Structure 1
Amino acid sequence: MESLVPQEILDALTDVEMPRLVSAPSFDEQIEAGGFVVPVYRTGCVVVGSGAAGLRAAVELKRRCGAVTVVSQSAWGGTSACSGSDKQTLHTANSADQGDNFRKMARAIRSGGSMDEDTAYIEAVGSARAMASLQYLGLPLPQDTLGGTLRYKTDHDETGRATSCGPRTSRLMVKVLAQEAIRLGVPFFNHTTAVRILATDGNPDRRVAGVLAVRPKSRTDENPLGLVIYRCEALVLAAGGPGELYRDSVFPNGCFGSLGLALEAGIELVNLTESQFGIGTRREGFPWNLSGTYVQAMPHIYSVDRDGREHHFLADYYRTTQELASNIFRKGYQWPFHSTRMLDFGSSLVDLAIHHEGELGRRVFMDFNRNPLPVSGDQPFSLKRLDVDVSTYLGNAGAGQELPIDRLRHMNPLAIELYRRYKIDIAKEPLEFAVNNQHMNGGIAVDIWGRTNLEGIYSVGEAAGTHGVTRPGGAALNAGQVFGTRVAEHIGASGRAASPAAGDVDALAASAIEHVVSILKPDSPVRMDAVRLEVQARMSEKAGILCTQEEIANALEGARSLNDRIGESGIGFGRDGEAGRALQWHHMALVSEAVLTALDHYVENGGGSRGARAICDPDGEALPMARTGPLSNFRFRLEKESDKHQQIVVKYTGVTFVISTRENRHLDEDEKAFFERDWPAWLTGSIYDLQMTN
């Protein structure tokens, strides 16, 4: 039976209109620093970033009477508001019919390794509260007639803890949180780019004092760069991941994230070796992940060479039509590339094949008006000849339609509507796509309250390096909500954001501005656009899903050389209005070197292939097979079990990168809470560990 959803419902879940911001407050103070007359705004806490995680932190802190301010490069322009997939996932604890409990969920979240056990449990136990509060704010998560939340299985999820509002789940999350923030009177400074953290001198007692930002509206003759200072006692870094790091990326344009800011401030980063890559449409058109029903509809996938000839290339990899079609389907809930899924004719052979077609200069498409073509010598595609897990799923979904477009329309009409909004009608024309970078699993090192190693600075969302090697799809959206709340609770308990920060920052501001001016050299031969091209090409070509120890080492040398040139000559740019963007590319160059430093350390010490990448090695233990024979060029190392139990830590000294490792934090599952014993810790606030200095 066809699923008939009225057009107005499809429109409401696809065209999600965001709330209008009120005017930003005025700057009532200014100082002379570094040759500039700079406005100063005083607040208790600054949240850098206006995505779902940052807004959660702002809303929860404001509810606790904190003086909190949001600073955003582009409100509603980041990954939360602009990225997604067919039915973008929120991963939360499920009901008992799925055999769920918080400890089991925590084990599943951390099962990929290199993740702190306490963090995984916090995300699990906090997920119910996060989901309920989003529903209270108006997030339209689907329910059955008895009030249960509808669920399905997603990446690295064998239980079925996923739910969704459709392709715009995270945008709807941003919307309801933004409406609440505006209702509560949280000040927003839009079109404002944080470029340098202000921190007091002295180790180990350094603490945050504010942040320097570039705000074009504040440009004057005495301040041509539009520099502004936000004085605060707490700072939450929530500006997402380094989306601009890769050329082949499904991130929206302009996503630079918070990692460069953190590195320059001496904040520790972890797990930078771990990212997610998968199939999606690129940012040159409409960037979107092609997981879920896009591939579960089993479209025909083919490539086109420079002469316009079509190639049914997946037939060179899979032995039968059934095996080929079933693994296209499995990309729906095995969407991220994973090295071990290249073995035994698994679903990541699809990613490998698509990547290889790109290296051959071919463009890859999926056609929803054609079923997969047969493997040579085998029978044609048939819904009656599919692997059991695939046929069972399609049977339960009622997706027995003849063509992929009809199966997709039945299972998820929103998936078709979404591309139509961007002038792409996949019901009529093939869809071009590739393997792209999609998410940074590593990031800023934080403790169980979201604290970094620099006192007063916290991190949430994709900026925080909490995810380990792999994570269930949608766990990142949940983590941002859970830790956004915990950060606000901790800042509220500390009292450091109860009122706007006092004290002058003249000397710190002058030092920060001096650094910024040393990078901004309009006439430098190291041009901003050239930095972008070099960083993105190096990361996509040498640090994508397939790499070798030699390529990584050479890429690291190239990244070091680029940063040396920037240090000597600065970054050249055109007009004053490009100053903020030039500083962001300085940050991306630093982040690139940090990622490659961690990756080089990992591989040089025998690290093997896991979630993000296959480390190709002629002496590797694992050899992918294809229908045509062994794929010897893609032989790879297997992951060492011991590497799952630790994390690689990177810290920038201002001159070089320092590498260390630490064991994952352990959670004793035999230790049980007891009400009368533990209630006083809550009543007195000792659970927040406020005396600890990071």
Structure 2
Amino acid sequence: MEKNKIKINCKQIEVYSLNTVIVGSGAAGLNAADRLYNFGQKDIAVITEGLKMGTSRNTGSDKQTYYKLSLSSKNKDSTYEMAETLFSGGAVDGDIALVESALSTFSFYHLVDIGVPFPHNQFGEYIGYKTDHAPKKRATSAGPLTSYYMTEKLEKEVQNKSIKIFDNYQVIAILTDKSQKKAIGLLTLNKNQLNNKEKLYTIFNTTNIIYATGGPAGMYAASVYPSSQTGASGLAFEVGVKGKNLTEWQYGIASTKFRWNLSGSYQQVLPTYISTDQKGNDRKEFLNDYFSNPKKMFISIFKKGYEWPFDPRKVKNQGSSLIDIIVYYETIIKGRRVWLDYRQNSKLISDCGKLNISLLGKEVKKYLKNSEALFGNPIERLKKMNKPAIDLYANNGINLKNEMLEIAVCAQHNNGGLAANIWWESNLKHFFPVGEVNGSHGVYRPGGSALNAGQVGSTRAAQFIANCYRENPLDLKHFKRMITMQVKRKIDLGDTFLDSINKNNYKFSSSVIEIRKKIGQRMSKAAAHIRSKNSIQSALEKTKFDFENLTKTCFLNSIRDLSLAFQNYDLLFTQLVYLKAIKNYIDLGGKSRGSYLIKTEKENIFTNNLIENLDFDLEKNFLSEKIQLIQYKNNKFNINWRHVRPIPDNDYWFEKIWNKYRKNKIIK
């Protein structure tokens, strides 16, 4: 890695030249750095907005899952069978599914080797269990903090190898050649030097970029992503990287003060669902208003534990996902607040405060009895079944024994993202999106497959770079000619944001937070798990207006707001792209699927007779065998659909593969 300076906009800007930069310090990004080093490419560095930020390090669930091939006796499995499971989710490319299956054990054992505490039996078998959307016992877990342990151990590997980490650097532009066919570098905001205008910006001149920025979480107000996770997908769309399956997200019930998925035992202990006004008054048990009888309601609450993501297929006949719609109705439509109360049983199963077992369904009674928790109130049952679930909230300032837990239906994972090939290289050459920012998933995915996909994708990118893209970056003079106008445009945007400090002169409070709230509220209301043609069109028009007028409406109080202003620019452009994709899906006749419901226009489902008025159609594989691709090019959005690529029918003759492997003809 070499350090120099170049002059742009009358500014002397530091430039680092090296083979590969990895953007992001989550599990996928750190694994990419570790793998690259192990594969022999050591001219690398990690760039991160904050080493301790991001989703991998700050999120989890009741039992956070890692999905891989079955690794214990009597559980027959194969890479092809696992690929079929991934492929069957709809809108998935078969070749990518096969790669994620084939490298799942390679990636899993690497995590085991570096110390992630996945459990095994006395014979060394890594026992599995079934997770959602999966037919075999492929799932494993290191507990609620699985991804945290992964990130922690991978960070240690990176530090032990003395790989340079540029901490507190925010990427604000991806730099390309003049035809936007190849990535050649990055422009970053050095947040360590916000008070030093001479060092405010830093440029990276690179042969390759591994982009591990996570999902665009900042688009949603109701979000289970950590508040430190915003994403940076808009910067990629801006330079022509294609988006894939952007319509497909996963949503579910989560706590909002401390952001955490409320799946598993959090639901199976039957907490009481409470609605209040905005001040926390007017307490009501409300779910029973929408169910035909208490038994149906408690079965749905219980099933919400293992049917956690919202699924339109589980709405009708008073299924578990009806609860997500009711919570949305209370919070978004009625403007109330919703809570889980673990301190007392619902009045519908309470006999003088005690659990009335006779009012529970057979499935619920059997589970609680087998768990030795068929007694008491929800917090007592939770303590018996999963005390760490209580401790987790206590460690984050919430005592479930003494207070209610505020909830919402939250964005949890983007199944779509940036498009890439089987080596995780995008249509923009030398640019590799890995982890959640990569759209390798389709409509449905097995729980835990995202953690595997991040490890597999970052490994594949590292393999390809180490074998095929070893050359040095451009010489500095050539690089400067290529990037001067691109850098100038972004610095000019930054200067415009900074000029608002003087114009504002504290007449107005900083608007960056209000703009962020507006972005999130719009997406959560119109484009989360409840969607309609009219609401998407309205949101799209408002987003387009806000993006085009951002420099007029963005007021900074100090240079400290500059980072947020650049984030808002990225989020607004990202939102514009996503809403374009969703509108296109609906215009083509796309129906409810995955983790969202599309309302028909002939009925308003949100009335007092919610159950009777639910009116929506399920997708009947009309578009499930196709993939939507969207690209921003020459100031226009181009959307097209193609058929999924099938699972490859490989030639498994050993001698042929061995011969190709020895001649280095596999990685290409």
Normalising by the residue count of structure 1, what TM-score does the alignment of the two structures yield?
0.88
Paired residue secondary structure (2:202): strand
Pick one of 37, 62, 65 that aligns with 1:89: 65
> Does the 8 Å contact 1:238/1:258 carry over to 2?
no
User: What is residue 611 of structure 2 aligned with on the other side?
Assistant: 631
Range with greater deviation from structure 2 (247-256 or 440-449) = 247-256
Distance 2:555 2:606 in 1: 48
Q: Cα gap change, 1:313/1:375 in structure 2, threshold over 3 Å: closer, same or farther?
A: farther
Q: Cα 1:31–1:363, aligned 2, differ >3 Å: closer, same or farther?
A: same
Amino acid at match of 1:176: K
Structure-2 separation of matches of 1:166 and 1:659: 41
Tell me: CA distance 1:381–1:355, structure 2 relative to 1, closer, same or farther (3 Å): farther
Unaligned stretches of 5+ residues in structure 1: 1-24, 690-694
Deviation at 1:96, TM superposition (A): 4.6
Alignment-derived partner of residue 621 in structure 2: 641
Match runs of 1:240-639 below 5 Å: 240-282=214-256, 285-305=257-277, 308-358=281-331, 359-374=333-348, 382-383=356-357, 386-387=360-361, 389-496=363-470, 502-504=475-477, 505-520=479-494, 521-522=496-497, 523=499, 527-566=511-550, 569=552, 571-619=554-602, 631=611, 633-639=613-619
Contact 1:443 1:466 in 2 (8 A): yes
Distance in structure 2 (CA, Å) of the matches to 1:630 and 1:579: 45
Q: Deviations over 1:191-217 (max 9, x none)?
A: 0011111111236xx222111111133
Which residue of structure 2 lines up, in the alignment, with residue 18 of structure 1? none
Secondary structure in 2 matching 1:337: coil
CA shift digits 1:415-441 (9 cap, x unpaired): 111111111111332211111111111
Aligned-pair distance for 1:571? 4.4
Please list the CA deviations of residues 534-556 of structure 1 after superposition, one character each: whole Å capped at 9, or x if unmatched: 31121111112112111111111
| 2:651 counterpart of 1:651 | no
Distance (Å, rounded) in 1 between the aligned partners of 2:663 and 2:363: 52
CA distance in 2, matches of 1:69, 1:472: 33
State the secondary structure of the residue aligned to 2:411.
Answer: strand
CA spacing shift, 1:388–1:471, aligned 2, 3 Å: farther
CA contact (8 A) 2:3 2:17 kept: no
DSSP 3-state at the match of 2:549: helix
Deviates more, 1:68-77 or 1:84-93: 84-93
SS of corresponding position for 2:250: strand
Deviations 1:635-688 (A, max 9, x none): 11221412101111111125232211121111145x441111122222223222
Q: Give 3-state SS (helix, strand or coil) of 2:348's partner.
A: coil
For the residue of structure 2 that corresponds to 1:28, the secondary structure is: strand
Write the distance in 2 (CA, Å) between the matches of 1:107 and 1:389: 31
**In the superposition, relative to structure 1, how do residues 517 and 397 fare at CA in structure 2: closer, same or farther (>3 Å)?**
same
Query: Is 1:618–1:635's contact at 8 Å kept on the other side of the alignment?
Result: no
Paired position in structure 2 for 1:681 = 660
1:72 to 43, 48, 63: 48
- Is the 1:54–1:460 contact (alpha carbons within 8 Å) kept by the matching residues of 2? yes
The question of 1:211 aligning with 2:186 is answered: yes
Question: Any idea what the Cα deviations from partners look like across 1:110-151, whole Å, max 9, x if unmatched?
Answer: 333111112222212221121111111000112233333343
Q: 1:131 aligns with which of 108, 113, 133?
A: 108
Distance 1:383 1:582, change over 3 A: same
Alpha carbons of structure 1 residues 92 and 386: separation in structure 2 relative to 1, 3 Å: farther
Question: Does 2:162 match 1:185?
Answer: yes
1-side partners of 2:624 and 2:117: how far apart?
37
Aligned-residue offset at 1:633: 4.7
Cα distance change on mapping 1:153 and 1:590 into 2, 3 Å: same
Residue 149 in 1 paired to residue 122 in 2? no
- How many aligned positions are there? 652
Equivalent residues of 2:530, 2:598 under 8 A apart: yes
Distance 1:279 1:630 in 2: 19
Contact 1:218 / 1:228 at 8 angstroms: preserved in 2? no
Tell me what 2:507 maps to: none
Q: Secondary structure at the match of 2:317?
A: helix
> 1:304: Cα distance to partner?
2.0
Cα distance in 2 for residues equivalent to 1:393 and 1:600: 43
Given the superposition, is the C-alpha separation of residues 569 and 129 from structure 1 closer, same or farther in structure 2, using an over 3 Å criterion?
same
TM-aligned CA distance change 1:65 to 1:660, over 3 Å: same
Q: Whole-Å Cα distance in 2 between the matches of residues 391 and 419 of structure 1?
A: 26
Letter in 2 for 1:489: Q
The alignment yields a C-alpha RMSD, in angstroms, of 2.7
Distance 1:382 1:646, change over 3 A: farther
Percent of residue pairs bearing the same amino acid type: 33
Q: Give the superposition deviation at 1:476.
A: 0.4
1:156 deviates by 2.2
Q: C-alpha displacement at 1:230, in angstroms?
A: 1.0
Task: Report if the CA contact (8 A) 1:345-1:625 is conserved.
Answer: no
> After the TM superposition, which segments of 4 or more aligned residues of structure 1 sit over 6 Å from their partners?
623-626
Distance 2:532 2:81 in 1: 36
Distance 1:201 1:302 in 2: 57
Deviates more, 1:131-140 or 1:513-522: 513-522
2:14 paired with 1:39: yes
The question of whether the paired residues in 2 share the 8 Å contact of 1:154 and 1:332 is answered with: no
CA shift for structure 1 position 575: 2.6
Deviation at 1:570, TM superposition (A): 8.2
Matched residues in 2 for 1:397 and 1:103: separation? 36
- Structure 2 CA distance for aligned equivalents of residues 680 and 387 of structure 1: 61
Deviations 1:232-291 (A, max 9, x none): 101011010111101111111132213112111111011111111111112xx2111111
Helix, strand or coil at the partner of 1:336: coil
- Partners of 2:350 and 2:586 in 1: how far apart? 39
CA contact (8 A) 2:532 2:601 kept: no
Tell me the alpha carbon deviations over residues 445-475 of structure 1, each in whole angstroms, 9 at most, x when there is no partner. Answer: 0111101001101011011011111211111
- TM-score if structure 2 supplies the norm length? 0.92
Q: 1:164-179, aligned counterparts within 5 Å? A: 164-179=141-156
Higher alpha-carbon deviation: 389-398 or 528-537: 389-398
Q: After the TM superposition, which residues 12-51 of structure 1 pair with which residues of structure 2 at under 5 Å, given as runs?
A: 28-51=3-26
Change (3 A) 1:625 1:594: closer
Q: Structure 2 CA distance, aligned partners of 1:402 and 1:171?
A: 33
Alpha-carbon distance in 2 for matches of 1:376, 1:552: 43
2:98 corresponds in structure 1 to 121
Q: What do residues 366-404 of structure 1 show as CA deviations (whole Å, max 9, x unaligned)? A: 122323442899xx9655665555455445544434332
8 Å contact 1:571–1:586 — kept in the other structure?
A: no
